[in-house]
Structure 1
């Protein structure tokens, strides 16, 4: 995958995170991602840096979504 494609994927994952946090009214814990200091707009960072960021962000998102599905859902009367 080319660097430009990784940056695009990184941007898309950041948008997914923002949308998920808004819809689920939660915050995705992603300390590893934050520690990397690589944002989708950090075009000066290396391809490897963006690759690590993509994996860290994807991992944080999937962990948050897995926790949400593991929680018991309250039954509501319609």
Structure 2
């Protein structure tokens, strides 16, 4: 994938995070993602840096969503 495409995906994932937080009322723990120091607007960072940031952001999102799912299923029992 080209750097420009990675930046686009990075921006889309940031939008997904914002939508998730607005709709669920939950806050995603972004500590792992923030350690990368790369934002979708950080166009001066390398392709590899954006890949690492994307993977970190995906991990943060999925961890939060999995915890929510676990909490919802434990209350249903």
Question: For the pair shown, which has the larger CA radius of gyration, 1 or 2?
Answer: 1
Q: Unpaired segments of 5 or more residues in structure 2?
A: none
Q: TM-score w.r.t. structure 1 length?
A: 0.90
Shift of 1:72: 3.3
Segments of 4+ in structure 1 off by > 4 A? none
Pair 1:54-2:15 in alignment: no
**When the two structures are aligned, how many residues end up with a matched partner?**
75
Give the structure with the higher percent helix: 2
Q: Structure 1 unaligned segments of length 5 or more: list them.
A: none
Structure 2 residue aligned with 1:5: 5
Q: CA RMSD in A?
A: 1.3
Taking structure 2 as the reference length, what is the TM-score of the superposition? 0.91
Q: Helix, strand or coil for the counterpart of 1:71?
A: helix
